[in-house]
Structure 1
Amino acid sequence: MFYILLAVTLMAVVTYIPRALPIVLFRRKIKSQRITSFLYYTPYAVLGAMTFPSIIYSTGNLNYSIVGTLMALALAYFEQGLMKVALGAVLVVYLCHVCF
């Protein structure tokens, strides 16, 4: 039982450190444009890095995944809504599975 409590405590500390560290380190406003830009775009980069492999391997067929991704990118480029982009990509992948 002691090891379970120790493990939970250590996990809590390790989870808390990345959240508390920026507050402790950056008490003043960040003046560097490069650091501000880096911190602004980091969530988008991480989201893309986590999402893109799932998109490619989700269908089990690389070609269908690429076609669905291209359809989603095309719909997003022409400023369609999120629902249209998602449904369009799913529909194209489904049609590829049915037709080929």
Structure 2
Amino acid sequence: MNPWFGVAIMATVTHLMRAVPLLAIRRRITNQWMLSFLHHLPYAVLSAMAFPAVLTDAPSSTTGLVALGVALVLGWRGHDLSRVVLGAAPAIGVAEALQLLV
């Protein structure tokens, strides 16, 4: 099968998933539960994608836990995502260097 055909299918499906709700819901959402759900949804999806990667992509589980701890502290203190990443990534390097010394 031609790879461009697969790319076209994926692009169409992605576009439909984004366009259909915008076309189907024309009035303002006033339901408080739905507003709260839509507000928290991006954070939940980002966490579901990032949490396993932090623990499995690090050189060892110890360094992954250190990076997770740094990220949680920075996020809890209200830093934006770029600062959380820029704080957690060097934490992996420092934890790995300290682990090599021991």
Instruction: Answer whether TM exceeds 0.5 for this pair.
Output: yes
Once the 2 structures are TM-superposed, how far is the Cα of residue 91 of structure 1 from its aligned partner? 4.4
Choose 1 or 2 for highest CA Rg.
1
Q: Which moved more, 1:78-87 or 1:45-54?
A: 78-87
Gap runs ≥5 in structure 2: none
Once the 2 structures are TM-superposed, how far is the Cα of residue 26 of structure 1 from its aligned partner? 1.3
- Assess if the C-alpha contact under 8 Å between 1:68 and 1:92 holds in 2: no
Q: TM-score, normalised by structure 2?
A: 0.72
Gap runs ≥5 in structure 1: none
Q: Is 2:55 the partner of 1:85?
A: no
Q: Which moved more, 1:73-82 or 1:15-24?
A: 73-82
- Assess if the C-alpha contact under 8 Å between 2:67 and 2:89 holds in 1: no
Percent identical pairs in the alignment equals: 32
Q: TM-score, normalised by structure 1?
A: 0.73
Instruction: Map 1:1-100 onto structure 2 (within 5 A).
Output: 4=2, 7-78=6-77, 82=83, 85-86=87-88, 89-100=91-102
